[in-house]
Amino acid sequence: MKKRLIGALLIVLICMLMVGVAECFRNEPIVTVAINTEPNEPNFADTIDKTIGSVVHIFNNTGGWQGSGVAIRPDLIVTARHVVEDGVDFTITDNNGVEFRATRAISSKKYDVGLIKLDKPVLTPAEFGSIENCRLGQQVYVVGSPYGKINFNAMSLGIVSGVNRNYDPLNSWEGDYGWSVAFTTDSAGHPGNSGCPVFTMDGRVRGILVGGFSPSLIIVMPVDLFLSEVDEIDRMFLMDKWEREVAIDEAAEAWNY
């Protein structure tokens, strides 16, 4: 009889414990972990999407070489001087893969940049900013076509690695190429990147890639230098309004062939 009573008490006690535990779980609030999908800082990919449309590939049909460039205005491209050198015929490819022909280019030996004028305003201009607002170690990125169109509008990331550089004493060419006011970046620069824009992370172009000592020591010409002379640049292109004379084969003209 005593054993039965102890067993019954144990059963009752176990049931009470089970009910209590169940009640605890029933009243316990469900805890969930919230995952924040909003970025804490501007999305870099979004910045690329907004800026890459101003970058173009340039093929110098006259000389057979190529490079990169960026639109200052819908009809005006800036690039490195050697990309336009001796060129009177260019194929420009925008970020959508659309090709345009250009036949007018001028260059500045002082700033080591070249400019190409399109007949129609078809490009998306970039936003520009002064190098004076930048600091040593500030992040930058470049967009261009390293080793040609097969790597069309590829990008690489780096920093401002040097400011106020003076490379004129190293120039083997005659005259001043304006490299005394250059800055440098360690963003990758290869053949085909010549003339490409160097952006800061706010999406503003701070300079144009014009040369380098190695693929990671790149010389950049600040946009401050030539953008202050856009009016003079326009006048230079206006001087080209006269028709260019070409040699005529008189025999072919006489016989209409």
pLDDT single digits (tens) 10-53: 564 555 555 554 555 455 555 555 555 554 556 889 999 999 99
- 44-125+230-239: what fold? Thrombin, subunit H (2.40.10)
Asked if residue 107 lies in contact with residue 82, where contact means CB atoms within 8 angstroms, the answer is no
Residue 92 burial class via C-beta count within 10 angstroms: exposed 0-12, middle 13-18, buried 19 and up = buried
- Per residue in 186-212, pLDDT (tens digit) is 998 899 999 999 999 999 999 999 988
Q: Which of 57, 75, 82, 145 is catalytic?
A: 82
Asked if residue 58 lies in contact with residue 197, where contact means CB atoms within 8 angstroms, the answer is no
Is 112 a residue of the active site?
yes
Is 194 a residue of the active site?
yes
- Cα–Cα distance measured from residue 72 to residue 79, given in angstroms and rounded to the nearest whole number: 10
Q: Which residue has the higher pLDDT, 229 or 21?
A: 229
Q: Which of 54, 57, 107, 112 is catalytic?
A: 112
Asked if residue 142 lies in contact with residue 158, where contact means CB atoms within 8 angstroms, the answer is yes
Is 82 a residue of the active site?
yes
Query: What is the model's pLDDT at position 2?
Result: 53
Q: Which of 145, 161, 187, 194 is catalytic?
A: 194
Residue range(s) occupied by CATH 2.40.10.10 in the chain:
44-125+230-239, 127-224
Does the 127-224 domain belong in CATH 2.40.10.10?
A: yes
